[in-house]
Structure 1
Amino acid sequence: MVTSMSDTQTSGTVFRSSLGSITLEGRAHHLSAWFVLALRLVIGFAFLYSGVEKVLGGFGAQGYLVNAAGQNGNPLEGMFLWMGQTQWFVDFVNVAVPWGEVAIGLGIIVGLLTRLAALFGALMMLLFYFGNWDLAHGPINSDFMYMLVFLSVAAFGAGRILGLDDYIEQYEVGGRPLIEKYPHLRYILG
């Protein structure tokens, strides 16, 4: 897959991506950066708020893991049941979910390790999507939409818009910007 973005002065940013013989191309509006920033801040705040509520209010995942998936025809029912009946895993989830939401939310809000935070957020939302499995209104629900927002934040490199990732990428190491010296950091920054 080849993906490129180029700036043009008169018409905004051109996005182009090819996968096999199919090429998609689009032109972003000059206000797109504001909407990408808004997506980043809103999803970051939503996760931070949810995590803080869980940390302050107490959080226990066992009942959810054991019961939720078994009541709704979930294709991953067996996996959720195993998770809910495996004490070490329940203990892990009881810490990882609330504190993970706090860390993901903070990272996304300040634009720090944005792609990494967004990918973990998307993974959490994928698990919530299957945990809350319900096709009564079709296969697309809010968990699925949140997952897409996280993936959009990662794809657009939203941490470069008024975010710390932009400063980190430009930090000079040996006279070169960090992102040039260590190009693999593009997968977690941005």
Structure 2
Amino acid sequence: MEPGVAHDGHQIDERRHAHGLAFGGKISMTMNFLWLLKPLETTMMQDADLGRGLVLFFRLAMGWTFLYAASHQIFDPGWSVAGFLSHTRTFNGIYAVFAAPPLAAVVSFLVGYGHLLIGLSLILGLLTRVSAAFGVLLMILYWTAHMDWPYIGDTNNFILDYHIVYAGVLLLLIQTRAGQTFGLDRWLAKQPLAQSCPQIRALIG
């Protein structure tokens, strides 16, 4: 065999060996990187579970809040919005109209049963985005009804009070599609009507 050929063959073997080491090193580095990602993946899964748990908690907590309010308003024959709305301050000119006898009974009915429907919707996780949106509207109305600017209710609440906090929680439930977490919205989204109608899908989330 000619010396040049042998020399070239030796160089080829060295290159193959070098490529093999480089490829093996890349595999090793990739495996090490994936191994390092395992704790991150586990943490992300735990965070996702925690997030779903918190969404479920806030949905049930807000649902119970509305249901408990409804229980006092529906089952107490003497309850009326008139006593509260007639004492509003900042927006008294607006709310006093609804406290007058012709409208007070209608508004009291709407408020009591509105609370009931919102509470049941949130507890069941059914049409959660719709009920939460109405809940946000009610919280803003109650915030203005309690307002004696810049205080809300009393001097312990400056500009903000729990109504705005509740409104923020309800907005979070809308954004996170809370009814899809252990709620009937998940079942409703799979029904043919929801599948074929984009408007219904948007309401469900």
SS of corresponding position for 2:86:
helix
SS of corresponding position for 2:199:
helix
Q: Is the 8 A contact 2:98 2:107 kept in 1?
A: no
Structure 2 match to 1:61? 81
Task: State the one-letter code of the partner of 2:142.
Answer: F
Q: 2-side partners of 1:53 and 1:123: how far apart?
A: 21
Q: Is the 8 A contact 2:63 2:121 kept in 1?
A: yes
Structure 1 match to 2:185? 165
Structure 2 match to 1:19? none
TM-score (norm 1): 0.75
Shift of 1:182: 1.1
Q: Is the 8 A contact 2:86 2:96 kept in 1?
A: yes
Structure 1 match to 2:198? 183
Task: State the one-letter code of the partner of 1:61.
Answer: V
Task: State the one-letter code of the partner of 1:44.
Answer: G
Structure 1 match to 2:97? 82
Shift of 1:186: 3.5
Please say if 1:153 is aligned against 2:153: no
Give me the identity figure in percent. 27
Question: Among 20, 27, 47, which residue is 1:29 paired with?
Answer: 47
More helix by share: 2
Q: 1-side partners of 2:44 and 2:165: how far apart?
A: 27
Which runs of no fewer than 5 residues in structure 2 stay unpaired? 1-39
Q: 2-side partners of 1:107 and 1:54: how far apart?
A: 18
Q: Deviations over 1:123-159 (max 9, x none)?
A: 1111111111141331110111111111111111100
Q: Is the 8 A contact 1:116 1:187 kept in 2?
A: no
* Runs of 4+ residues over 4 Å off in structure 1: none
Q: Is the 8 A contact 1:128 1:143 kept in 2?
A: yes
Shift of 1:184: 1.4
Structure 1 match to 2:31? none
Shift of 1:188: 2.5
SS of corresponding position for 2:163:
helix
More strand by share: 1
Structure 1 match to 2:159? 139
Q: 2-side partners of 1:12 and 1:103: how far apart?
A: 35
Shift of 1:172: 2.8
Superposition pairs for residues 98-137 of structure 1, below 5 Å?
A: 98-134=112-148, 135=151, 136=155, 137=157
Which runs of no fewer than 5 residues in structure 1 stay unpaired? 1-8, 14-27
Task: State the one-letter code of the partner of 2:132.
Answer: A
Q: Is the 8 A contact 2:67 2:115 kept in 1?
A: yes
RMSD: 2.1
TM-score (norm 2): 0.70
